[in-house]
Chain A
Amino acid sequence: MGCRHDQTPQECEHFAILRSLGGWFTPMKIVVLVKHVPDAASDRAFASDTTTDRAAVDCRLSELDEYAVEQALQVVEKAGEGEITYLTMGPEAAGEALRKSLSMGGDAGVHVIDDALHGSDALATSLVLAAALGKMEFDVVICGMASTDGTMSVVPTMLAERLGLPCLTWASSLSIDGPAVTIRRDDDDASTTITGTLPAVVSVTDQTGEARYPSFKGIMAAKKKPVTTWSLADLGIDPAQVGLSAAWSVVDSVTKRPARQAGTIVTDEGDGGVKIADYLASGKFI
């Protein structure tokens, strides 16, 4: 096996020796789940069938999945080698989320695309992603903490449940050491350390640290990285199990909340605090 371009000859030799020691040392395989979503900074809206309108606004790689990409890249950098594949389920444009991820680093993409998937709920999404993962090799699956459109934070757990894997969620830091994966999770009442054995599913929060920007070289390299597409037939899933008509919850109505109106804005002339007190008193808050 040849050396990777980002390895020193020493590192390359080191890993060759480790590999020769027997089957136990194989480079880590990571799958990162990335979703293509309407930009949270744009005026998001619903289509007439009450699904998220993906046509009216700019879409992008979910900002919260960038943290998952970054963590995967860091795991590989720390280990010295490893393979990262990005997996997305979504319409054609979702391929852009794969390209963006690949421009940050990593090796390949898998795109599950099928017209029947339109309007799938989290249960169906996890069914499809679990089937895709079933066809892939991995030691760890890294997800974002939530998609910025659905904000459910349930897909990683549902995947783990379906695949029968340990699930370590809401990591604010992540480390992988041999067969063990350990996270720190900062809940309201406590900071907790959690450990599981690979293979496992992990979700990471925006506390894990800023994601890198793609370099020009990265963007060029991403164009040549392989992306495989799979349909529902490739995954052996009956289209009747997914999509809007199969969803186990239905949206009855969507109503735009009236935008908040600006109220009274005053400039402090030495009495700004008193003016707020007056305002609070007028509302009987003090």
Chain B
Amino acid sequence: MGEILVLVDHVDGAVRKSTTELLTIARRLGEPAAVFLGSGLDSALEVLGRFGATKVYVVDDATIGEYLVGPKAEALVAIAEKASPSTILVSSNAEGKEIAARAAVRLGAGLITDAIDVDADGVATQSVFAASYVVTAKVTTATAIITVKPNAAAPEISETTPAVENVAVSYSAIATSAKITSVAPRAKSGRPELTDAEIVVSGGRGVGGPEGFGVVESLADALGAAVGASRAATDAGWYPHAFQVGQTGKTVSPQVYIANGISGAIQHRAGMQTSKTIIAVNKDSEAPIFELADFGVVGDLFKVVPQLTDEIGKRKS
């Protein structure tokens, strides 16, 4: 079986869960080989081995972190030209999609984005038109590039000791044409990542202001959940944009999604309507969110949500 390249999504060697999902999917398709770009390999290697990477290609040079995706794309292309993989799997986020787009042009490879599953034949499943359709598609070129959304597979352990192969890449002028001039890291909330969380508790315009998110966060913490927000709330600056759920934010598909003070506009639904269970609290009984809620309470979220948080606390103790 040929090599399947998995581009590792990591921050200084801390491997994202989505990469362990990609390695799991890669094992269905062939021999998983990880592509690790940047520094921090030492901390990453153990995780990559645990999830079955038999080989790790490494490009670690200063250029990688200094420019927007260009060097990463050229490094991936250089490795793909050596390895001739049948499939390259990349995480479906802003950076991953951009690397995939460049690699597709360079390698003459067909591209599928935002897969929610990939089977052993390389058939990708996508959720399209605001999650109203499920589509299956396949790439017809010798190499396929597929970007895969978080939670596409349950990560399965398969212990290996990967062989490490260092690769040197010389970059073109174009790879280094978009320079990163400053990076302001975001403070970590300590809560689970929005796209990984089993439970998501969201707030919308109905929370009334930044303080209003206090009741949303308290409920999230009682449930060990992630916090999400509608665009109305992020646009107003009540909650950071990174937590926005919807068409221009994150797509989430948790076991439980609790929408508080959110009307349920199509653009919001696009990001959450594949949640297994949807619960809504809204004071307007006509709010469209109730059309898709499995359980809904028509009421004031400032009464209902704190009571729920207390009740969870009581039942836990």
- By a beta-carbon cutoff of 8 Å, the part of chain A in contact with chain B is 40-41, 43-46, 50, 64, 121-123, 126, 145-146, 148-149, 151-155, 157-158, 161-162, 164-170, 172, 182, 185-197, 200, 205-207, 247-257, 259-260, 262-268, 270-277, 279-281, 283, 285-286
Docked pose: A26 CA to B144 CA in angstroms: 44
Question: Are B105 and A161 in contact, with the CB atoms below 8 A?
Answer: yes
B291 touching A286 by the CB < 8 A rule? no
Q: Are B133 and A254 in contact, with the CB atoms below 8 A?
A: yes
Instruction: Count how many pairs of residues, one from A and one from B, have CB atoms less than 8 Å apart in the complex.
Output: 257
Instruction: Please determine whether B242 and A265 come into contact, CB atoms closer than 8 angstroms.
Output: no
Contact of A272 among B100, B138, B291, B307 (CB under 8 A): B307
Interface SS, A side: mixed
Offer 26 A-B interface pairs, CB within 8 angstroms, sorted by A: A40-B130, A40-B270, A46-B133, A151-B113, A154-B98, A154-B111, A166-B178, A167-B70, A169-B68, A170-B94, A190-B183, A248-B110, A248-B141, A250-B137, A250-B140, A251-B137, A252-B123, A254-B135, A257-B131, A257-B134, A263-B296, A264-B294, A265-B298, A268-B299, A276-B281, A285-B199
Q: How far is the CA of A155 from the CA of B144 in the complex (A)?
A: 17
- For B57-83 the 0/1 string (1 means CB < 8 A from A) is 000000000001110000000000000
Question: Within 8 Å of chain A (Cβ to Cβ): is B89?
Answer: no
Q: Report B259-316 residues with CB < 8 Å from chain A CB.
A: 266-267, 270, 273, 277-279, 281, 285, 290-300, 303-312, 315-316
Whether the Cβ atoms of A265 and B285 lie closer than 8 Å is: yes
Q: What 10 A-B pairs are tightest by C-beta distance, nearest first?
A: A268-B299, A273-B307, A248-B110, A273-B308, A166-B177, A154-B101, A263-B294, A157-B101, A272-B304, A260-B292
On whether A272 and B248 interact (CB within 8 A), knowing A191-B186, A192-B182, A249-B140, the answer reads no
Measured in the bound complex, the distance between the Cα atoms of B104 and A283 in whole Å is 44
Chain B residue nearest to A187 in the complex (CB):
B94
Q: Are A194 and B174 in contact (CB under 8 A)?
A: no
Q: Are B298 and A266 in contact (CB under 8 A)?
A: yes
